[in-house]
Structure 1
């Protein structure tokens, strides 16, 4: 089978396609024939910033058909379609997935739908829940055209937000985020992000944290769920009695699996009703993994970027 690895840190140019044997599932594992692979900013950053020992594989969101089941696995069978987070060779023709991380894909959904909806949707929904939203509150989403951000916009509307503001890097993304249901669109460079909001869902971090805090109304809450780092001044929180909340999906997965499963069910129900629809910016062959990373690094995507083994 083919897989993508890297032997030095850097940009998309360091990614290499290589041939290797098809793995066998161990205890608690499923072997998938991958149909869709999600490309995410955290994975792209790991390649550039050198966070893993070399040589390294690329994990991430995968969806496909189960072709083998490891020992001690119950509840799954060969031939079923599932999606989940792969911690090993995710950019590959075949991927190993821990059964605890697997989620069935409904018959009416494609593999691309599953990869675009489930992981990013869980992050977006979890971040929104972390803000403890009340009916009718206003919400601003940074990175609103991205993989999780474009779902956060839709989820806020579906959950009853009174006003949803989409913050994006370029005016070229304005029509896209409006098509998702955003009531207003602001650019990161704008001097003001408009009327203050009750909640900011921040998928970007870094230098955007200061204007994001400034965009909050008194008593407002910012939920930070990006890997972009950044610093918040305590005084900026103090003067408006504002709050900053960190959200990490891995903690929910490890400590509250029932909650994660409830969120999964809600996402599929919203998908089935048409109230939340994942959007795919590009579907590229596995051999074009470097091009997929270029799109993500440039923040050029409007929706999810997906790799397709072919």
Structure 2
């Protein structure tokens, strides 16, 4: 089978296709014949920053090809999606059963990788932010796979004012089409407008400072980015504000019933038309480097998906 491997972090070309045997599922694992792979910013960052080669993981969707010992609730031929922590950029991938979920009848694999993992992160961030009816919300990385869903979910949670923060003005029409009332740029924090009750931050790094300073009294910043960054305690003290860290893996492992409930909600909202996925493009697996370049260059509008 074809698999994309990773080497020489930081170089201009670090992703290569290789031919390897199809893996066998271990206890508690599903072997999935992959149809689509969602490219995530954390994986793109690891390729550039990690000191040694690591498996390229991410959300995958496809058909179950084999079951490992002890797996219950799935059968060969079932179409599933889930988060792969091993080699996900491949024609076959292994999914731990707790991280796999069935696709509704008629659902496409591309929609699945655009909706489920990104939607779960967005849903969790909105919940962590405790958005109240009539409140104001700023969403950073608003044109990303997660951000494009967070904009819609923040509105559905009752926010009166939802503002999209993006890297360039050419993304304005895209995020407005998803319901953003206003669009602001990262490099113009003085123009971000009135303070926000909640900031949902998918960028991190140097943007954390301006994001905290954009909070209203008692406001909450939800950090779900892999970008790191430092928050000055004084900025929180003077606002009586708080920073909340969110990671979907912790929910999947520690609160599986919540994880499953959110997943069902996302599919129901998508099926009814209340929640729209946005896919920037479908790129062949062998051209994974092109997909990474799109995200590194902040050129994507919605989710970038690799197809097999």
The two structures have a TM-score, normalised by structure 1, of 0.96
- Residue equivalent to 1:276: 275
Q: Deviations over 1:2-40 (max 9, x none)?
A: 000113212461111000111111111111110100111
- Does the aligned pair in 2 maintain the 1:58–1:90 contact within 8 Å? yes
Gaps of 5+ in 2: none
- Does the aligned pair in 2 maintain the 1:285–1:308 contact within 8 Å? yes
- Residue equivalent to 1:15: 15
CA drift of 1:155 comes to: 0.8
1:49 aligns with 2:49: yes
Matches within 5 A, 1:151-300: 151-190=149-188, 191-300=190-299
Whole-angstrom CA distance in 1 between matches of 2:64 and 2:246:
31
Matches within 5 A, 1:122-141: 122-141=120-139
CA drift of 1:214 comes to: 1.8
- Residue equivalent to 1:307: 306
Gaps of 5+ in 1: none
Whole-angstrom CA distance in 1 between matches of 2:245 and 2:6:
31
- Does the aligned pair in 2 maintain the 1:158–1:276 contact within 8 Å? no
What is the root-mean-square deviation of aligned Cα atoms in Å? 1.1
Q: Deviations over 1:269-300 (max 9, x none)?
A: 11111111110001100110000010011111
1:77 to 51, 68, 75: 75
Runs of 4+ in 1 over 4 A off after TM superposition: none
Secondary structure, in 3 states, of the residue corresponding to 1:223?
Answer: strand
The alignment of Structure 1 onto Structure 2 pairs a total of residues equal to: 307
